[in-house]
Chain A
Amino acid sequence: MDVLLSGQLLFAALITGALYALIALGLNLVYGTMRLLNVAHGDLVMIGAYVAFWGLTLFGLSPVVGLVLAAAAGALLGWLTYLGLFRRLLASPQLMRRLEGNSLLLFFGISVILQNLASLAFTASARGYQFMDQVYRFGDVALTGNRIFVLVVAVAICAAVYLLLRFHVFGLAIKALIERRDAALIVGVDIDRVQLAAICLGFAIAAIAGVLVSTTEQISPFMGFPFTISAFVVIILGGLGNISAGLVAGLLLGVLEVYGVALTSAAYRSVLIYGVFIAILLVRPQGLLGRGSVVR
């Protein structure tokens, strides 16, 4: 019982939750603005992780620099994906009607390609590096520097995006597109530009999350899938396309996972996450924190 009340576990939950919130934020931006089901989202996390790893091992670049490089790589991939695949599909109302389902297949293909390209280029073996692994003590809580780094960066980026959406006119345009696409068009939102920006931002956030993951865990070409799943659980928990609820839901999933594993065992981690997923879909498909009903 003592373990459950410890600050150590609370911080573990916060760190996991902040990372989940960050990854889901990127997915939610892409889904919310374009209704694209990006099942390759976790593979962008993987790419960000390799950017940090190779940046450090080949060029001696700190993962702090890696954050910037990964963000640029993610944004570039977003730009290519948008211009190459989705711009034309999104411009036609007929094609757009089937886009949600079709995007799932397209991204599934992209996911397979990215994983296999990565294992061809980097081999399938797990890799890791050391970064800020000295231990800091705060009262009875002991944290390695890299986990503090993860927490600080994840919270800062979530907060920055939240403030952007809340107060900046560009954020308002993203929210308008998420809430009512036809009305956004009519008031004069440049939908093409906002969509491009949302996909670049979403992909960049995923890649940044990858850098954070790589500072604390081993990385491999196939590390992405569990992140895709947890991100989908989070955005369904918060309500699809509901950005701020998604941030809360990310923290919630982190708490559920860390405390759930502490109460049972690490073997139950997947059971917990999928269990939450199925329970939400059965009981409250509009999301635990979502408003209103599901429109189908």
Chain B
Amino acid sequence: MTDALLTLENVAAGYGQVRILRALSLSVAPGAVTALIGGNGAGKTTVMRTIAGAIGAQAGRLLFGGQDITAWPAHRRVDAGLVLVPEGRLVFPTMTVEENLRLGAIARRARGSARTRRDEIYDMFPRLRERRDQRAGTMSGGEQQMLAIGRGLMADPTMILLDEPTLGLAPVMANEIFAIVRDLRARGLTVLIAEQDVRQTLAVADHGHVVENGDVVLSGPGTSLAADERVREAYLGL
């Protein structure tokens, strides 16, 4: 995949002395949904946070849209259209839904069109419009996840990173989130999703990477990964 939107080349990252990724490489095709699957502690969240710039890469290179972003601070990556919807949602709990969305559009690229985009997001998530003046911390997990995705979309991303978006949600709500992922692709966004619900994730993903011990051990189209013997055994319980 030479025309990938995002490429990680031998990236090493971790927290302090603890190195979680040693030399991870992967690429994400534009306009597609790419999945990262793997067990707890495999390093999926570290990959996501390293791409977003929330933690720095200790070695290797990250390329986004042809530019080397390895040394860029997080806000500059957001400004380039690379946006993370973090694990645990991380909404601003004492701020209202509306203020959370406004903060999503703090990047320079997004400020001008923030109002129209906010209305689009309210159309996409009518429940957020109903609760626009409610404090984010008082909403349910599913509503907070919608808000976190809406906040990410406010930055006008070309690529959105969804880290464990269905974690802790009821099955009905999880289905809704997967429907949103399909919708985002239909709108032309590039999506990288890390999930523990492997079956549903591979059903929406065009491409997938299996992460184990901080490394990509298997890559392929979503359907063929779902049929792979190792994946079926380890993650689908078949």
Which residues of A are in contact with B by a Cβ distance under 8 Å? 93-94, 169, 172-173, 175-176, 179-180, 182-192, 291
Contact = CB atoms under 8 A, between A and B. Distances in A.
Q: Secondary structure of the A side of the interface? A: helix
Contacts of A190: 73, 75
B170 interface: no
A291 B137 CA distance: 12
Given A93-B15, A173-B106, A183-B91, A188 B79 contact: yes
13 contacts: A169-B106, A172-B95, A172-B99, A172-B106, A175-B92, A176-B92, A186-B52, A186-B74, A186-B90, A187-B103, A187-B151, A189-B106, A190-B73
Nearest to A170: B106
Contact of B16 (A94, A180, A184): A94
Contacts of B92: 175-176, 179-180, 183
Interface string B81-110: 001101000111111000100111011000
Nearest to B104: A187
B155 interface: yes
Contact of B84 (A93, A172, A184, A186): A186
Given A185-B74, A186-B52, A187-B104, 10 more contacts: A172-B95, A172-B102, A175-B95, A182-B86, A183-B91, A186-B54, A187-B103, A188-B74, A189-B75, A192-B73
A31 B57 CA distance: 29
Contacts of B90: 180, 182-183, 186
A21 B199 CA distance: 56
Contacts of B155: 187-188
A182 B93 CA distance: 13
Classify chain B: how many residues form its interface, as a range. 20 to 34
Contacts of B107: 187-188
Nearest to A175: B95
A64 B151 CA distance: 43
A240 B30 CA distance: 45
Contacts of A188: 74-75, 78-79, 83, 106-107, 155
B87 to A, nearest CB: 11
A172 B107 CA distance: 13
Contacts of B104: 187
A212 B54 CA distance: 42
A246 to B, nearest CB: 15
Given A179-B95, A186-B84, A172 B103 contact: yes
B128 to A, nearest CB: 16
B132 interface: no
A34 B74 CA distance: 18
Given A169-B111, A179-B93, A191-B75, A186 B15 contact: no
A94 B18 CA distance: 12
A179 B79 contact: no
Contacts of B99: 172
A188 B154 CA distance: 11
Contacts of A187: 78, 103-104, 106-107, 151, 155
A172 B106 CA distance: 9
Contact of A176 (B15, B84, B103): B103
